[in-house]
Amino acid sequence: MDGNGRWAQSRGLPRSAGHRAGVKAVRATIEYCARRGVEALTLFAFSSENWQRPKEEVGLLMGLFLEALDREVDDLHKNDIRLRFVGDMTQLAGELCARMRAAETRTSQNKRLIVNIAVAYGGRWDIVQAAQSLAADCVAGKLDASSISEGNLAERLTLTGLPDPDLFIRTGGDQRISNFLLWNLAYTELCFIPELWPDFSAKELDAALAQFEQRERRFGLTSAQVAKS
């Protein structure tokens, strides 16, 4: 979800205004995905690298997370939407972690849509923590190192239990994945759009989904093999 700051600056507003506008786009996107029958949506809200931003901006973002949780969790629950948070929670304040866990618990049985919010998340961190978990089991004698497989590692990643994403969308015009879901995006279709995140709407999402429908997903096969499957 890129472009909040640039959106605000282009309007002569402080960056904080862009982040607040971005929260509205989050709500609209969740609502639209639920209507369209999307089963899982993962939003990259705050990366492990974002800690390097000015302290004032980081503080504002953490405050917005708290505000959004207090304001939105009731509606999410009423609409049968499950909320999950993924990332290095040891980096977050205790109050924020407690609110996040409470929201997860309250919505844990909801089935309509799973919304994963990546906070203090990095794809490299995700792979490292999975490897550390496997290594600990090896040291404890619970697992033989020679038996470690892609499946073993995938089970220790933060999005375990969910299929790999079908579609990745990045707003703001930059064409990179910026350390997001590095393992999970191995065969994901990538879509980069120029609109800044606060301007992202159902129109842009529909266009991205239409583009996705035109892609041929071969997963290493030939077109002829895909046609036969």
Catalytic residue annotation? 2, 50
Contact 148, 115 (CB under 8 A): no
Rounded Cα–Cα distance for residues 147 and 157 (Å): 18
What the block records as the tokens of 2 is 């890129």
Residue listed under structure tokens 């939105």: 72
Rounded Cα–Cα distance for residues 49 and 46 (Å): 8
Taking every pair of C-alpha atoms in the chain, what is the biggest distance, in angstroms? 60
